Structure 1
Amino acid sequence: MEKLDVLDCRILNLLQKDASLHVKDIANAIGLSPSPTYERINRLKREGFIEKYVVLVNREKLGKQLLVLCTVTLKQQSMETLTNFEEAIQQFTEVLEVLCLAGSHDYLLKIAVKDVNDYHSFVMNRLSTIPNISNLQSSFVLKEIKHETALEIE
């Protein structure tokens, strides 16, 4: 893997701000012709610096007004229990992010739902069906300061 140079960094910054930019626009912005710019972008993809392109959507316009951060503690921390939880939780489209934690909780979930009733239904009918959950603690987001996560459109 090559080290990033100034032009690579500029390309990445431009694409993070607007992934729909054309190679020609990026080339103009960084002072290169389109062909070497295109090659740099492809190299950045090949080397894993660019994983994918996403669109940030307004979840509230899609009817997902409530954002919940939920900590999950499992009854056991065996490899099988952790793997089973991680596989199961990925099936829920309401769950935007899953972070494995060190400390008093095992996981932090970022969940987008319509309202409190929808969240209650999600917990009772879906989340609680995953075996070996010992404890859930939910925090309701009052204000979202920074939003850079893709939301699946149903």
Structure 2
Amino acid sequence: MPKVYLDAIDQRILAALQLNGRLSNVDLAAKVGLSPSPCLRRVRFLEEMGLISGYRATLERENIGLGLTVFVGIKVERHDDGVATNFQSSIQNLPEVTSCYLVSGESDYLLEIVVPDLAGYQKFLTDTLLKLPNVRDIRSNFAIQKIKAASPLPLDHLRDCDSDHQR
């Protein structure tokens, strides 16, 4: 459940901005059936509530020389707050790590890493990953082909919340 009530117009705004974050307010308003002023107020509200965390361009990795994506499972030495905080802080400033998740299962963390090629990954692995604090085990999975990546989030579950709210 979302933390705030989102009506159908809010949902359409979110869907439209996920597909094209560069829409002008006038175009967005027309697309969702509002005039520009109330549309802008709603977008600002969605931003303030933390539902929209930013806008950015999606780059084609291969076209800018980042042809290798590696999913890396990392186990840490022990499970305590200090180890977790230390590891998570270390990951924050590594631009090659495009996402990092605390996970359950065989690994403690799952990282998505982008590098130019296998030699670039080997260098990143030996010079950086293996030197991270409290790392016990690293398992690398190489992406062979991108099937689907960085797609808009599904919003259909919000319609259920909308109908529940109207009752």
TM-score range, shorter chain: over 0.9
RMSD of Structure 2 on Structure 1 (CA): 1.2
Task: Write out per-residue CA displacement over residues 38-92 of structure 1, whole angstroms, 9 at most, x where no aligned residue.
Answer: 1111111111111111211001111100000000001111211111110001111
Are 2:154 and 1:148 aligned?
no
The equivalent of 2:131 in structure 1 is: 129
Q: Residue in 2 aligned with 1:118?
A: 120
Structure 1 unaligned regions, length at least 5: 150-154
Q: Kindly state the Cα deviation for residue 129 of structure 1 after the two structures are TM-superposed.
A: 1.1
CA distance in 2, matches of 1:106, 1:35: 46
Partner of 2:31: 29
Q: Find the counterpart in structure 2 of residue 67 from structure 1.
A: 69
Give ranges in structure 2 of 5+ residues lacking alignment.
152-167
How many Å separate the matches in 1 of 2:55 and 2:108?
29
Q: Which amino acid aligns with 2:105?
A: G
Secondary structure of 1:61 counterpart: helix
Instruction: Name the counterpart of 1:86.
Output: 88
Identical counterparts, % of pairs? 34
Runs of 4+ in 1 over 3 A off after TM superposition: none
Query: What amino acid is aligned across from residue 137 of structure 1 in structure 2?
Result: R
User: TM-score, with normalisation over the residues of structure 2?
Assistant: 0.86
- Offset from partner CA, 1:107-147 (integer Å, 9 cap, x none): 00000001111101001001111121111000000111222
Q: In structure 1, what residue type is equivalent to 2:147?
A: I
Question: 5 Å matches for 1:98-117?
Answer: 98-117=100-119
Q: TM-score, normalised by structure 1?
A: 0.93
SS in 1 for 2:63: coil
